[in-house]
Structure 1
């Protein structure tokens, strides 16, 4: 199973680049950047210039904020800059990023993302001399490239949480990009069967689709403190307004009490009040907590279910910098082989 790191953008760019460089040296497979508090491609360009092997990409690029044309051109450029290491994760965004941050209209997400992925794949795969013609309900294009891509195909992953978007992703994308807060049982019983069914209906082989998953993680010798960190992070997803995706996932997996607490106290900024009402099982089942060895053991439960875990590190509060905060996470790879 591949292991990657996810940077959310709060640290200085120099620290993000240095952490990616160290991650490559430590044998990590990939690094990704969230398009929320930093732009989708600029940090990745800096990482590409400082590394040689590690895969990189946005996880996830906002499709409502970028046309397929601009996203595609940027992807071709970054793939060339990185020597063919780009993985392009795209998705419809969420209520926080789309409405609160940008005031974007986000109608017809299923049609939007199906067309977006189909068109994006044509753009990033178009050799010189091949015109791209696309007539969709939402997107249209009449275009011919003047830059030759450095490889025949850039993987395009579509972010999916709900069953309908999972069906779209399995039908058209190269990968079904899962978010955080998914237990191995949920992936096994709900997600994987949906992917297989949708791929089969589209005449595709599910085994050829990549299934990466975000992994919320707090590496800490103090297990109770790690659990509290995870619980507080989950509640923060509901601040200042409830997050429909995470509310859905919590309830789907039997954590309605936690969802109720987050929905009640999150918008008020009363994080600790929500944490006090959340069972330890929320952290134990939906995230990675404890020592590096304990997290490595937990990761084994996902073997055969996902192809890559992309760690969203919320631990390391006392670390001197971003790289030091991620060193215990990078140690999981060594613990897996110990």
Structure 2
């Protein structure tokens, strides 16, 4: 199992994690990952960290498709991959209606079809076999009835096939990741239920396909306090990160077997009862998607992850060297 560090996106203030990244590289972590929502972007921090490191892989989880046309993401990825000596892992995703429509002012329509077109165009850009064209409905190239002509990337990419990961939660999107990509980035993974939920979707994956699961890790002798930290994150995602009638995060929690709880949590959160929403999250759910407690407990629960389809753990939470060292020893030794 490979080990990565998920840095996420900046919260209220700028978050230069250079020292944490240097520590992770020194300790033998395989990768670091950044994210974006509607604050800090996903690529600039990676360029910053890439200039200060030499080995660790640099992942986006995720670059939102609606933030950039596919050729822009392809150019950015190619440039960063060149500058860092071929260390980029490009994770992309459709995001959700709230962000796509509310922040980018674009319709959230047919995410599977859009993703397929997006990936095809990026790979045309990187391979430079012909000028880039697309007759898809979402990203037609060149623009029909205009003055444009098909163009080919000026710069020769360092790698004609940059490793591509898809952020996906629904079974159809996961199946698309298995078909098109080199990896899948699940936000919430309940290791003992992945096979039941996604086994069929993952059946088409090529050998070496990377299931890179993001998992909150909290090293603490107070297990309940650590679980409460996980619940705070779940309260926001289940309750508020999505529209009332279309919340992909609440849907996935439902498919894990907590549909009734997810519905209650969202209803309480949207009614302004955030404390009650927090208390409505089952301990079993918080514990199932995280690794919390003293090192011995985490070591024991790691076996569930080793027995699952997960091949990379992307750790969320710890930033100090002591915690990163403990996690490294538990996962890699």
Match in the other structure for 2:95:
93
How do 1:35-50 residues align onto structure 2 when only pairs under 5 Å count?
35-36=36-37, 37-50=39-52
Match in the other structure for 2:152:
144
> How large is the RMSD of aligned CA atoms in angstroms?
2.2
Does the 8 Å CA contact 2:24/2:324 hold for their aligned counterparts? no
Structure 1 residues 312 and 97, CA gap change in structure 2 (3 angstroms): farther
Match in the other structure for 2:265:
262
| Of 325, 330, 333, the match for 2:328 | 333
How do 1:115-194 residues align onto structure 2 when only pairs under 5 Å count?
115-126=117-128, 130-141=130-141, 142-180=150-188, 182-194=189-201
| Of 283, 307, 312, the match for 1:308 | 312
Per-residue deviation at 1:33?
0.6
Identify unmatched segments of 5+ residues in structure 1: 200-204, 317-322
Does the 8 Å CA contact 1:63/1:92 hold for their aligned counterparts? yes
How do 1:277-316 residues align onto structure 2 when only pairs under 5 Å count?
277-303=280-306, 305-313=309-317
Structure 1 residues 235 and 53, CA gap change in structure 2 (3 angstroms): same
Per-residue deviation at 1:269?
4.6
Match in the other structure for 2:22:
21
Identify unmatched segments of 5+ residues in structure 2: 142-149
Does the 8 Å CA contact 1:89/1:157 hold for their aligned counterparts? yes
Determine the C-alpha separation between the residues in 2 that align with 1:103 and 1:81: 32
Normalised TM-score (structure 1): 0.87
Does the 8 Å CA contact 2:124/2:130 hold for their aligned counterparts? no
Determine the C-alpha separation between the residues in 1 that align with 2:324 and 2:99: 27
Determine the C-alpha separation between the residues in 2 that align with 1:99 and 1:291: 42
Does the 8 Å CA contact 1:257/1:278 hold for their aligned counterparts? no
Q: How many equivalent residue pairs?
A: 319
Determine the C-alpha separation between the residues in 1 that align with 2:198 and 2:330: 28
> Residue 165 of structure 2: SS of its match in structure 1?
strand
Per-residue deviation at 1:149?
1.1
> Residue 257 of structure 2: SS of its match in structure 1?
coil
Per-residue deviation at 1:232?
1.6
Per-residue deviation at 1:130?
4.2
Determine the C-alpha separation between the residues in 1 that align with 2:131 and 2:102: 37
Does the 8 Å CA contact 2:213/2:312 hold for their aligned counterparts? yes
Structure 1 residues 63 and 330, CA gap change in structure 2 (3 angstroms): farther
Cα deviation per residue 1:135-154 (whole Å; 9 max; x = unaligned)? 22322332211111112321
Does the 8 Å CA contact 1:41/1:58 hold for their aligned counterparts? yes
How do 1:228-267 residues align onto structure 2 when only pairs under 5 Å count?
228-237=228-237, 238-239=239-240, 242=244, 244-267=247-270
> Residue 134 of structure 1: SS of its match in structure 2?
coil
